[in-house]
């Protein structure tokens, strides 16, 4: 409940601190992170190909928005569908292997999608990206107004968070964690492990798809990078910094990552160096990311208070 | 080995063999496990006992031969299906979910074989009264109910062995396969484990692999002896103790 209020306050305060576009991007990236974390944090699967689902959904919905004038909600529905479907195909191939081979497969298939987008210039615009993706008005809501769109994205983010909370607290969430903890035993007690991994992929893909469509509408363009491996890496990066062991980790990670990259890139061209340092610190000392740092800080505060 | 296959057999193997390359880990094993009894499988290290368990629970398919559960051919059924057929196992090396509480450890097994997976994606795990009760009962059976909220990685080795057993029990199996439940236990803990296994007798059909002779002789209804992948003897505990071939192979001539 306290976390919920903190998020609500952040949603209200954020557009006062940063430009609405950046504020919007933070919540979009958080939805993307929520989807990845179901795989990374809960199932223990490091997917280096999340931008496959993000980008595919953005391209398909972007194309339909541009040429067929579909409304925003249909675009989002298509994003969910394309994200889930591409995750079904990619996931099906990836869950056949584990460990390093699994990671390489997610990466390789991502590259495959990337080159399709790169080559298919008549549709995707290739290196120039798919430009001119509109943000059509719907039911009197003028999404072209950055603040209206910000509120819209925030509401969708809250809905995504609520949905993900339900999922991770459901039997599925516990089964995925059981697979992370001990795959062999999870199979022995009666769970078809590859099928559950695939389900995690599909759900994660649907979240990525929503994020992809929102992203395309935010910037009015689907850049080629949106389906590239750097983008896949960024969401892993952000989630690890925030803390993959917690539901809220990817949200904090998204905040840190987007805010740093937007504010620092103006000041200092070598800003990714800072991210690198942050990443090293997390990997070496803080496996639970910012969330763990927060917990440690409070335990330390409590224990250092004199006993009365 | 010619034998009359008992109609009351709940679990049977017929000429079951498994080879890993040139190594014949299990050779031509025909076993009949009678419903309701406690059937032990003994043999020196490397005799193929655990491989036999792995075959029975579908960890890998046999090279040849058949496995029958309730007269139904289940040969080649994958591990995750076996649990749903009422066959449940514990592992020789503790194989639990370390970051889970004890209750969550058994809950995951109780839910797997539960009657309904309704709400799999959105209902809170607290809202499955049947699985929750089944999980608590499994912890009660092994005497760990007081520690239900402890994490599995934080309890003692002896308690982890009890938890290992509880996970197998939580599925409410018809046949319980126990792979050295007393492995690595102190004499005191072993005594407790023997009492525990004895308390389960009659409630489940039990197949037990064990090294400690005192356990086997005191709790078994029937004993099968494996040596180099083959069954070399089968009978009641007293018969096995008298069998000269068994003494040579396994007891090393020491009078038990």
Of A185, A190, A191, the CB nearest to B96: A185
Contacts of A166 in chain B (CB under 8 A): 121-122, 124
Same domain, B153 and B191: no
Chain B residues within an 8 Å CB radius of A173: 125
User: Total structural domains in chain B?
Assistant: 2
Q: Do A178 and B95 touch (CB under 8 A)?
A: no
| Shortest CA gap A221–chain B (Å) | 34
Domain end (from B172, B196, B219): B172
Quick count: other Cβ atoms within 10 Å of Cβ B4? 6
Residues B108 and B101: their CA atoms lie apart, in Å, by: 11
Q: Please name the helix (run of DSSP H) or strand (run of DSSP E) that holds residue B90, with its range, or none.
A: strand B87-90
Nearest Cα to A172, choosing from A147, A198, A145? A198
Chain A interface includes B130 (CB < 8 A) = no
Q: Where are the domains of chain A?
A: 2-227
The H or E element spanning position B207 is: strand B205-209
Residues 6+ apart with CB under 8 A from B85: B69, B74, B77
Q: Which two tokens stand for residue B186?
A: 């102190």
pLDDT bracket for residue A173 (50, 70, 90): very high
Do B178 and B234 lie in a common domain? yes
**Are B10 and B82 contained in the same domain?**
yes
Q: B170 or A245, which is more confident?
A: B170
Does the pLDDT at position B81 exceed 60?
A: yes
Which pairing describes strands B38-42 and B205-209: parallel, antiparallel, or unpaired?
parallel
Is residue A215 over pLDDT 60?
yes
pLDDT at B86 over 60: yes
Paired tokens of A234: 């960024």
Cβ-Cβ contacts under 8 Å, B117 against chain A: 171
pTM: predicted TM-score of the whole model, two decimal places: 0.89
The number of C-beta contacts closer than 8 angstroms across A and B is 85
Convert chain A into a string of H (helix), E (strand) and C (coil): CHHHHHHHHHHHHHHHHCCHHHHHHHHHHHHHHHHHHHHHHHHCCCCCCCHHHHHHHHHHHHHHHHHHCCCHHHHHHHHHHHHHHHHHHHHHHHCCCCHHHHHHHHHHHHHHHHHHHHHCHHHHCHHHCEECCCCCCECCECCCCHHHHHHHHHHHHHHHHHHHHHHHCCHHHHHHHHHHHCHHHHHHCCCCHHHHHHHHHHHHHHHHHHHHHHHHHHHCEECHHHHCHHHHHHHHHHHHHHCCCCCCHHHHHHHHHHHHHHHHHHHCCCCHHHHHHHHHHHHHHCCCHHHHHHHHHHHHHHHHCCCC
Q: Which tokens belong to A220?
A: 């009015």
Q: pLDDT at position A306, please? A: 61
Binned at pLDDT 50, 70 and 90, residue B254 comes out as very low
Our CA-based measurement puts residue A217 at a distance from the nearest CA of chain B, in whole angstroms, of 30
Among A85, A106, A96, A59, CA closest to A233: A106
**Residue B253: count of CB within 10 angstroms of its CB:** 8
- The predicted structure's pLDDT at residue B1: 41
Would the CB atoms of A190 and B124 count as touching at under 8 Å?
Answer: no
Whether B122 and chain A come into contact, CB under 8 Å, resolves to yes
Residue A267 contacts residue A249 (beta carbons within 8 Å): no
- Across the interface, of A170, A175, A181, the residue whose CB is closest to B119 is A170
Nearest CA-CA distance, residue B120 and chain A, Å: 5
Is the pLDDT confidence value at B188 over 60?
yes
Beta partners for B69? B11, B72
**A173: closest chain B residue by CA:** B121
Q: Do B112 and A190 touch (CB under 8 A)?
A: yes
What stretch of H or E contains B194?
A: helix B187-200
Structural domain of B102: 95-172
pLDDT given for residue A291 in this prediction: 84
Question: What are the pLDDT digits (tens) for B28-59?
Answer: 999 999 999 999 998 888 888 899 999 999 99
Question: Do residues B159 and B195 both lie within one domain?
Answer: no
Sign of CA dihedral A211, A212, A214, A215: positive
CA B165 to CA B106: how far, in whole Å? 10
Structure tokens at A236: 């892993």
Domain end (from B172, B195, B230): B172
Q: What is the pLDDT of residue B253?
A: 47
For A185, the closest of B95, B104, B124 (CB atoms) is B95
For A222-281, write each residue's pLDDT tens digit. 998 889 888 898 899 889 988 888 899 999 999 988 888 887 777 777 777 877 887 788
Are both B187 and B155 inside the same structural domain? Answer: no
Same domain, B99 and B149: yes
Q: Which member of B88, B122, B125 has the closest CB to residue A174?
A: B125
Closest CB from B80, B98, B99 relative to A190: B80
Average pLDDT over residues A63-67: 91
Q: Is the pLDDT reported for residue B107 higher than 90?
A: yes
pLDDT averaged over every residue in chain A: 89
Who wins on pLDDT, A239 or A3? A239
Average pLDDT over residues A78-84: 96
Residues B64 and B178 in one domain: yes
User: Within an 8 Å CB–CB cutoff, is residue B85 touching chain A?
Assistant: no
Residue from the list A166, A181, A191 with its beta carbon closest to the beta carbon of B80: A191
Tell whether B175 is within 8 A of chain A (Cβ). Answer: no
In this complex, is the C-beta atom of B132 within 8 Å of any C-beta atom belonging to chain A?
no
Please indicate, yes or no, whether residues B167 and B215 belong to a single structural domain of this protein: no
Residue A209, token pair as written in the block: 């798809």
Residues 188-227 of B with CB under 8 A from A: none
Is A171 close to B113, i.e. CB distance below 8 A?
Answer: no
The values of phi and psi at residue B54, to 5°, are: -65, -35
Residues of chain A whose beta carbon is less than 8 angstroms from a beta carbon of chain B are: 166-167, 169-175, 177-178, 181-182, 184-193
Helix (H, G, I), strand (E, B) or coil at B241: helix
pLDDT at A53: 96
Which of A170, A172, A185 is facing B97, going by the closest CB pair?
Answer: A185
- Same domain, yes or no, for B103 and B221? no
Chain-chain contact of B84 with A175 (C-beta, under 8 angstroms)? no
pLDDT digits (tens, 9 = 90+) for A233-249: 889 988 998 888 889 99
Interchain pair A177, B100: CB under 8 A: yes
Chain B contacts of A172, Cβ < 8 Å? 120-121
Q: Could you tell me the pLDDT band of residue A302, with boundaries at 50, 70 and 90? A: confident
- Amino acid A201: pLDDT: 94
DSSP annotation of B247 reads I
Of residues A169, A181, A190, nearest to B100 (C-beta): A181
Mean pLDDT along residues B112-126:
86
- Flag whether pLDDT at A176 surpasses 90: yes
Asked if A178 lies within 8 A of B124 by C-beta distance, the reply is no
Whether A188 sits inside 8 A of B83 (CB atoms) is: yes
pLDDT at B248 over 80: no
Mark whether B81 and B180 lie in a shared domain: yes
B80 and A193: CB-CB below 8 Å?
yes
Residue, of A136 and B20, whose pLDDT is higher: B20
Closest residue of chain B to A190, computed from CA coordinates: B80
How many percent of chain A have pLDDT more than 70?
A: 99
Report the alpha-carbon distance of residue B139 to residue B106 in Å, rounded.
Answer: 8
The pLDDT of residue A19: 86
CATH of the domain at B205: 3.40.50.300
Last residue of a domain, one of B172, B193, B222: B172
Check A178 against B91: CB less than 8 A apart. Answer: no
Å between B113 CA and nearest CA of chain A? 7
Inter-chain residue contact A170 with B171, CB threshold 8 Å: no
pLDDT of B251 strictly over 70: no
The rounded distance, in Å, linking the Cα atoms of A60 and A84 is 13
Q: Left (φ > 0), alpha (ψ -120 to 50) or beta: where does A245 sit?
A: alpha
Q: What are phi and psi of B226, to 5 degrees?
A: -110, 145
pLDDT tens-digit profile of B196-229? 999 999 899 999 998 777 778 888 999 999 888 8
Question: Nearest CB to A171: which of B89, B99, B120?
Answer: B120
Whether residues B11 and B77 share a domain: the answer is: yes
How confident is the model at residue B153, as a pLDDT? 93
Place A308 in a pLDDT band, splitting at 50, 70 and 90.
low
Instruction: Kindly tell me if the per-residue pLDDT of A140 is higher than 80.
Output: no
Q: Does B87 touch chain A (CB under 8 A)?
A: no
Same domain assignment for residues B77 and B2: yes
């Amino acid at each position: 409940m306290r976390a919920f209020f903190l998020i609500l306050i952040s949603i209200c305060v954020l557009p006062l601190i940063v430009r609405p576009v950046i504020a919007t991007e933070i919540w979009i990236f958080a939805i993307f992170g929520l989807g990845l974390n179901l795989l990374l944090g809960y199932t223990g699967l490091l997917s280096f190909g999340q931008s496959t689902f993000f980008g595919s959904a953005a391209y398909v919905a972007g194309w339909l928005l541009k040429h067929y004038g579909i409304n925003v909600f249909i675009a989002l529905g298509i994003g969910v569908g394309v994200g889930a479907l591409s995750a079904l195909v990619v996931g099906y191939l990836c869950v056949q292997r584990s460990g390093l081979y699994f990671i390489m497969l997610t990466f390789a298939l991502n590259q495959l999608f990337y080159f399709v987008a790169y080559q298919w210039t008549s549709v995707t615009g290739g290196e120039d990206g798919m430009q001119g993706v509109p943000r059509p008005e719907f039911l009197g809501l003028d999404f072209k107004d950055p603040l209206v769109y910000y509120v819209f994205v925030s509401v969708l983010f809250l809905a995504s968070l609520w949905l993900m909370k339900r999922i991770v607290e459901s039997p599925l969430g516990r089964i995925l964690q059981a697979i992370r903890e001990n795959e062999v035993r999870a199979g022995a007690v009666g769970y078809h492990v590859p099928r559950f991994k695939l389900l995690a992929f599909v759900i994660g893909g649907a979240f990525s798809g929503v994020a992809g469509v929102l992203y395309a509408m935010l910037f009015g363009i689907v850049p080629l990078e949106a389906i590239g491996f750097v983008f896949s890496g960024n969401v892993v990066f952000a989630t690890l910094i925030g803390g993959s062991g917690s539901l809220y980790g990817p949200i904090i990670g998204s905040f840190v990552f987007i805010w740093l990259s937007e504010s620092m890139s103006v000041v200092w061209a070598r800003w990714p160096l800072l991210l690198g340092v942050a990443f090293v610190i997390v990997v070496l000392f803080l496996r639970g990311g910012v969330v763990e740092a927060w917990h440690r800080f409070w335990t330390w505060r409590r224990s250092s208070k004199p006993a009365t | 080995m010619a034998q009359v296959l008992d109609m009351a057999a709940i679990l049977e193997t017929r000429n079951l063999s498994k080879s890993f390359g040139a190594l014949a880990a299990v050779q031509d094993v025909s076993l009949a496990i009678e419903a309701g009894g406690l059937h032990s499988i003994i043999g020196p290290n490397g005799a193929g006992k655990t491989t036999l368990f792995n075959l029975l629970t579908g960890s890998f398919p046999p090279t040849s031969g058949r496995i029958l559960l309730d007269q139904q051919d289940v040969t080649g059924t994958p591990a995750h299906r076996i649990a749903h057929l009422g066959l449940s196992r514990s592992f020789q090396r503790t194989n639990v979910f370390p970051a889970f509480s004890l209750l969550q450890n058994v809950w995951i097994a109780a839910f797997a074989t539960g009657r309904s997976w309704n709400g799999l994606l959105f209902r809170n795990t607290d809202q499955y009264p049947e699985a929750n009760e089944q999980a608590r009962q499994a912890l009660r059976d092994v005497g760990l109910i007081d520690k239900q909220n402890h994490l599995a990685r934080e309890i003692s080795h002896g308690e982890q062995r009890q938890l290992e057993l509880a996970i197998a029990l939580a599925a409410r199996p018809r046949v319980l396969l126990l792979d050295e439940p007393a492995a690595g236990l102190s004499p005191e803990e072993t005594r407790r484990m023997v009492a525990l296994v004895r308390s389960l007798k009659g409630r489940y059909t039990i197949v037990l692999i064990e090294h400690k002779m005192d356990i086997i002789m005191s709790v078994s209804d029937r004993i099968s002896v494996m040596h180099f992948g083959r069954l070399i003897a089968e009978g009641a505990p007293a018969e096995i103790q008298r069998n000269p071939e068994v003494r040579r192979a396994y007891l090393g001539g020491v009078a038990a």
